[in-house]
Amino acid sequence: AKSLIFGDYLVSMPFLNYGGPLGSEPAVRALTSHAVGLAVERRVDLLELRSRGPLPVDLPVSHRKITCLLDLSAGDSEGVWQRLTSNVRRKVRRAQKEGITVTFGPDQVSAFYQVFSRHMRDLGTPTLPLRLFATLVERFPEDTWLGCAYYQGRPVAGGCGFRWGGEFELTWVSALQEYHHIYANMLLYWAFIERAARQGLSVFNFGRCTPGGGTHRFKQQWGSRDVPLMWYQRVAGGGRRNATPSPHERAFAWGPFVWKRLPLAVANYLGPAIVRLIP
């Protein structure tokens, strides 16, 4: 990503949580050395190699993000349900009593994006393009899961994530604020967890968050455990940037203020061109 406003970055897997160099130790070192060379050559502010585990490289590590994992009883969704707290189960049941239902399938792309793009606009954050999600489902139909929660025929919460190995990660999830009181988001999460357990997966990954934040507390209520992410960095001389841009930074506080006030169609049109600069 290269931007006069946001800075210049090389990120191993932008928008996602991990996906750094792979291979034997010599191969990982060689790939990292090449990446550092590119960063120097292109004079980027920050090189970031995102990993979930340690790498045999000589770069500083940022632990500014964590992921939250819930261990499942593979094939036993009832066992997972019984381990949830009574408060979580109560909220899921409340959503079911309200008549909310969850539907999975590649045909949920449009419904998911309807919720996701509005939620991102309301947060003041540019959205990823619809084409990205449609392409993921097209290219990886078995391993990309899309699910939407419906209330009175309308999508009110949606999620998209990936199955890999014995794990499922709910990478993107959104819910409309006006339906939080009937816990549409809680039923959506449970539907994904239940599906993962029934398909024999052993881990449900809630995705990354900032330690101690509201999203972190939400994930902890499900009984998840924290796993620090290891993001290896090379910061350019002068240290202009030691992290990718965040709307919480004072320098960018004007962005969410303006973005929340855009018509949804305008935000969806402009968002993809901007978000690619914020990896």
Asked if residue 74 and residue 20 are part of one domain, the reply reads: no
**What is the mean predicted confidence (pLDDT) over 31-55?**
92
Asked if residue 183 and residue 74 are part of one domain, the reply reads: yes
101, β-bridge pairs: 150
Rounded Cα–Cα distance for residues 226 and 211 (Å): 9
Asked if residue 102 and residue 70 are part of one domain, the reply reads: yes
Rounded Cα–Cα distance for residues 42 and 266 (Å): 33
Asked if residue 34 and residue 120 are part of one domain, the reply reads: no
| pLDDT score of 8 more than 70 | yes
Asked if residue 163 and residue 70 are part of one domain, the reply reads: yes
pLDDT digits (tens, 9 = 90+) for 201-233: 999 999 999 999 999 999 999 999 999 999 999
Q: Are strands 46-51 and 7-11 parallel, antiparallel or unpaired?
A: parallel
Decide if 37 is inside a domain.
yes
Asked if residue 205 and residue 92 are part of one domain, the reply reads: yes
Asked if residue 26 and residue 8 are part of one domain, the reply reads: yes
pLDDT at site 204: 98
Is the CB of residue 234 less than 8 Å from the CB of residue 34?
Answer: no
Query: Per mean pLDDT, which of 18-22, 121-125, 168-172, 243-247 is the most reliable?
Result: 168-172
Confidence of residue 275 (pLDDT cuts 50, 70, 90): confident
| pLDDT score of 20 more than 70 | yes
Confidence of residue 24 (pLDDT cuts 50, 70, 90): very high
Asked if residue 179 and residue 233 are part of one domain, the reply reads: no
Rounded Cα–Cα distance for residues 133 and 116 (Å): 11
The CATH number that applies at residue 216 is 3.40.630.30
Which whole-number Å values give the CA distances from 8 to 11, 21, 28, 122, 270, in the listed order? 10, 20, 23, 27, 20
pLDDT at site 213: 93
Check residues 210 and 13 and name the one with the higher pLDDT.
210
pLDDT digits (tens, 9 = 90+) for 156-182: 999 999 999 899 999 999 999 999 999
Domain that holds residue 40: 2-64+229-244
Is the CB of residue 175 less than 8 Å from the CB of residue 115?
Answer: yes
Confidence of residue 255 (pLDDT cuts 50, 70, 90): confident
Asked if residue 58 and residue 136 are part of one domain, the reply reads: no
Phi/psi region, residue 81 (left: phi>0; alpha: psi -120 to 50; beta: rest), is alpha
pLDDT at site 37: 94
The closest alpha carbon to 32, from 61, 2, 13, 12, belongs to 12
Decide if 48 is inside a domain.
yes
Check residues 123 and 276 and name the one with the higher pLDDT.
123
Asked if residue 148 and residue 60 are part of one domain, the reply reads: no
Decide if 240 is inside a domain.
yes
Decide if 259 is inside a domain.
no
Asked if residue 72 and residue 210 are part of one domain, the reply reads: yes
Query: Per mean pLDDT, which of 38-47, 60-69, 99-108 is the most reliable?
Result: 99-108
Is the CB of residue 143 less than 8 Å from the CB of residue 162?
Answer: yes
Decide if 271 is inside a domain.
no
The closest alpha carbon to 203, from 162, 172, 174, 231, belongs to 162
Average pLDDT for the chain:
91
Decide if 239 is inside a domain.
yes
Overall domain count for the chain: 2
Decide if 215 is inside a domain.
yes
Asked if residue 213 and residue 178 are part of one domain, the reply reads: yes
User: What SS3 state is found at 87?
Assistant: helix
Decide if 266 is inside a domain.
no
pLDDT at site 106: 96
pLDDT at site 101: 98
pLDDT at site 138: 96
User: What SS3 state is found at 199?
Assistant: coil
